[in-house]
Amino acid sequence: MSRVALVTGGMGGLGEAVCIKLAALGFRVVTTYSPGNEKVKDWLQGMHNLGYGFKAYPCDVTDFESARECIEIVTKDVGPVDVLVNNAGITRDMTFKKMTKADWDAVIHTNLDSVFNMTKQVLDGMTERRWGRIINVGSVNGQKGAFGQTNYSAAKAGIIGATKALAQEVGRKGVTANAVAPGFITTDMTGDLDEASLKQMIPLNRFGKPEEVAYLVSFLASEKSSYITGEVISINGGLYT
């Protein structure tokens, strides 16, 4: 039976592209969505019309118990998770002077705490089966920082550190842990940015495509990446090298 891949925040943008590429590798793909999201049925139907039999489960990734319950249901319905892509994320951009505690907490909880909450539920099973892939979606701004993104940069930098540390713990048990660090990718999250101006900073002179990042994630999920762990792979058009 094919392995199970779970992508948090898989509906739309980068997450959707990752789901599609993982399905192309033969994984049974599952995604999560925020409880109360009314678009899930339409999204699943749209994916079904394209030939993808994805399943989606409600999960508040900021809440440990919600993550535990979600993984329990996924395990019963589909099977144990072999690949976890921690993709869920939000932004609350503003200068630190204007940033509130709520703005800080929302980004840290969604982008960083979620990595612990979800990984904790699946890691023991991976080590027991002696095969697993943890793939965390970081950001170029977790590597270099960004004006107006103290909260986001802190969360993504935390993901990088956690990935490197976790890789050292689980490598002997057949589990790899890696992070990808995208630059500017054309998604809803970057829709309000001044692309014409920003792309002048990028050696390749364009924003990336979600599919380009998804190819990298799918490679890290495959057997071909079995000797790669603890890495943070930049995919940013040369923006930060």
Distance separating alpha carbons of residues 134 and 165, to the nearest angstrom: 12
Distance separating alpha carbons of residues 91 and 145, to the nearest angstrom: 14
Produce one character per residue of 122-158: b if its CB has 16 or more CB atoms within 10 Å, e if not. bbebbbeeebbbbbbbbbbbbbeeeebbbbbbbbbbb
Residue indicated by tokens 């923006």: 239
* Residue 26 near residue 4, CB atoms below 8 Å: no
The catalytic position among 52, 57, 152, 227 is 152
* Catalytic residue check, 215: no
The residue type of 239 is L
* Residue 172 near residue 129, CB atoms below 8 Å: no
Q: Which amino acids are annotated catalytic?
A: 152
